[in-house]
Amino acid sequence: MKKIVAIIIILCLNALFLQREGGAVLAQDIHFSQFYMAPLTLNPGYAGALYGMEANANYKEQWRSVGSPYKTIAASYSLSLQKKKRAKGYFALGVNFFSDKAGDSKMGTSQANVTAAGHVYINRYMKFGGGLQIGFAQRSIDYTPLTWGNQFDGMAYNPNLSSRENLPEASSTMYPDVSAGIVYSYNNTAGMRRVTDNNDFRVNLGLAVFHASRPSYSFIGTEEKLFAKFVLHGNSLLSIPYSNIGFVPGFAVYNQGPAVEVFAGTMVRYVFAQKSKYTGNRTTNALSLGGYLRAKDAAVIAFMLEYSKYSIGMSYDVNVSRLKVASVGRGGFELSLRFNAANPFMVNSRSRF
């Protein structure tokens, strides 16, 4: 575990050093408003951190009111390898994929990653972990749908006219990628508290660095490098004891080169039925509704339905930036699905979240 943390610290320092060296262009990664439903795009340390087994799927569409919509899909799967119920720590593995397409040219990135993580129990309720993620990405663009001012013949657009643009021959580029992160988790339901009284208290905090190796991603072979992205994030479940109500606050701060994004908010969670810790005869059913604010960009309305091991989330971004003049406030729709289960490798195991 100490080696994993040391590697992550070295990667962070290396990314900071390379970031100051310059030679980069303005670019930003994908982001999901339901960041809590896309764990491995938020932090590699989340592999195996919250559930024994977890599968997620995400879809986001935005800016349809402005032009050709931006579409992002993602999927992830993680599995803890803990074999003993009272082990002091365990390893976990994860895989994830995302594809992002933007605008008429469908310029975007497709990337697949594998993640290895390790987690150590500090005590019955707390644990600390870190993950290392290695991936391979392809960035592509399609020039054929693009139109240019030089193709206006004085009366209308004429596709037979030359664009007079010096477009590169290559329409795609590939590059390896390295990311890492650490996660702290607190979960009082891992102890002997009577969870049927809605006494849940859970906290997750993390720090991650993506693109630590600063890969080159230019279509024309120049030394343009992708900015490293640093992510500080947290979320919690604060139940009101002996009631059906709880709060689910969360935040995420992203820094990628000159771009900084601050995202924070909360949902109110109503529990219809909570899982019995001792008999297992009752499953958790809950409904959450709330909102988040992405500073200077969007107000987000969020909804989540939990039924046993399944969760479905929906959200809508209401644009509040200067683009709202063109978008008329319409940002984007997002849909997320999650399935979580106990660790299949551990005898008499239970989901820890």
Which stretches does DSSP call E strand in 151-211?
172-187, 201-210
Sign of CA dihedral 43, 49, 51, 54: positive
> How far is the C-alpha of 53 from the C-alpha of 343, rounded, in Å?
6
Residue 277's contacts (CB-CB under 8 Å, 6 or more residues apart) are 189, 194, 195, 196
Q: What digits encode the pLDDT tens for the residues 60-105? A: 987 665 566 788 999 999 999 876 766 788 999 999 999 988 766 6
Instruction: Give the N- to C-terminal CA distance of the chain in Å, as an integer.
Output: 22
Q: Residue 20: which H helix or E strand, with range?
A: helix 2-20
Q: Which residues sit opposite 339 in a β-bridge?
A: 55, 310
CA atoms of 323 and 340, how far apart (whole Å): 38
Q: At 343, is the secondary structure helix, strand, or coil?
A: coil
With a cut of 90, say whether residue 42 has pLDDT above it. yes
The mean of the pLDDT values for the chain is 81
CB-based contacts of 37, cutoff 8 Å, min separation 6: 56, 58, 311, 313, 336, 337, 338
Which residues does residue 150 pair with via DSSP β-bridges, in sequence order?
A: none
The lowest-confidence range among 151-165, 251-265, 273-287 is: 273-287
- 155 versus 182: the higher-pLDDT residue is 182
- Summarised one tens digit per residue, pLDDT across range 142-156 is 777 676 777 677 777
Strand partners, 229: 210, 256
Share of the chain above pLDDT 90, in %: 44
Examine the pLDDT at 43 and tell me if it is beyond 50. yes
The CATH superfamily assigned to 2-341 is: monomeric porin ompg (2.40.160.40)
SS in 3 state form for 40-102? HHHCHHHCCCCCCEEEEEEEEEECCCCCCCEEEEEEEEEEECCCCCCCCEEEEEEEEEEEEEE
Q: What is the model's pTM?
A: 0.82
Please tell me which residue, 106 or 48, carries the higher pLDDT value: 48
Q: What is the pLDDT of residues 320-331, one digit of tens each?
A: 876 655 555 567
CA angle 171, 173, 174 (to 5 degrees): 150
Over residues 171-181, the pLDDT tens digits come to: 778 889 999 99
Residue 299 contacts residue 330 (beta carbons within 8 Å): no
- Work out the pLDDT band at 195, boundaries 50, 70, 90: very low
Structural domain spans, the chain: 2-341
Give the tokens for residue 144.
């054929």
